[in-house]
């Protein structure tokens, strides 16, 4: 998960962000209810910050949904005890899942420890899942040459969704564009509707609404 509480926009303006609540809570519930232990890893082992906008009733289908999401986060012990990404050993886990939010655009997109874990997981055949802006982490795998993710069919938060969210014109770069430049076979569905792609052991979801279906796909793979 991201450890960044801001996203640097054009003109070096900093927008508060973090992880998007639903993209943690929906998979967390699905995995724990299926009997799996969840371990959170972040750059430097810092506690992942939640995007406060993702806690609002408008982002959770109303007041009741917002209360449920806040309660899950409050009681999710792994969020309070993250390990450092550099200490995350793939052999200890059966799958790897990256929530989104704009935070990954700031830190995971350039994080070498994350890149190494992504490549190792892809090569291992274990389920690897990334949702919304989580696939920004894939960009770090192309720092020293072609990315092993080139040619993979995947999805992520679309340029259209970024425009509808009002941030496209302020962003230094857009995720869909960068993934295409990297060589990925980028696909997307309708804005803010669930859309999931699977290519070999790589599973991706387009937006927050895709988090629960993506978690279900990972459980099916397991």
Q: Which helix (H) or strand (E) holds 84?
A: strand 83-84
pTM over 0.95: yes
Dig out the tokens for 170 from the structure.
Answer: 């302020």
pLDDT at 19: 98
DSSP state, residue 153? E
Report residue 216's pLDDT band, with 50, 70 and 90 as the boundaries. very high
Q: Sign of the CA dihedral 107, 109, 115, 121?
A: positive
3-state class (DSSP) for residue 69: helix
pLDDT at 214: 98
Q: Hey, how many other C-beta atoms are within 10 angstroms of the C-beta on 13?
A: 10
pLDDT in tens, 89-138: 999 999 999 999 999 999 999 999 999 999 999 999 999 999 999 999 99
Q: Which residue has the tokens 């995947």?
A: 154
pLDDT in tens, 131-159: 999 999 999 999 889 999 999 999 999 99
pLDDT at 143: 87
Q: Identify any residues that bridge with 7 across adjacent strands, giving them in sequence order.
A: 15
Dig out the tokens for 49 from the structure.
Answer: 């910050």
- Cβ atoms of 213 and 220 closer than 8 Å: no
């Amino acid at each position: 998960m991201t450890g960044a509480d801001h996203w640097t926009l054009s003109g070096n303006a900093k927008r508060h962000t973090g992880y998007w609540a639903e993209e943690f809570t929906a998979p967390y519930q699905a995995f724990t209810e299926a009997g799996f232990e969840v371990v959170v890893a972040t750059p430097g082992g810092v506690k992942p910050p939640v995007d406060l906008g993702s806690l609002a009733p408008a982002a959770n289908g109303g007041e009741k949904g917002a209360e449920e999401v806040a309660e899950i986060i409050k009681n999710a012990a792994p969020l309070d005890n993250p390990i450092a990404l550099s200490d995350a050993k793939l052999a200890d886990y059966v799958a790897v899942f990256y929530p989104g939010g704009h935070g990954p655009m700031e830190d995971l997109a350039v994080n070498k420890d994350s890149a190494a874990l992504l490549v190792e997981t892809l090569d291992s055949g274990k389920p690897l899942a990334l949702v919304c802006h989580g696939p920004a982490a894939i960009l770090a795998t192309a720092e020293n040459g072609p990315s092993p993710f080139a040619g993979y069919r995947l999805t992520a938060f679309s340029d259209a969704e970024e425009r509808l969210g009002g941030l496209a014109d302020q962003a230094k770069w857009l995720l869909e564009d960068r993934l295409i430049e990297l060589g990925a076979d980028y696909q997307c569905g309708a804005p803010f509707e669930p859309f999931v792609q699977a290519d070999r052991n790589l599973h991706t979801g387009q937006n927050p609404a895709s988090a629960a279906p993506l978690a279900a796909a990972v459980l099916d793979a397991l």
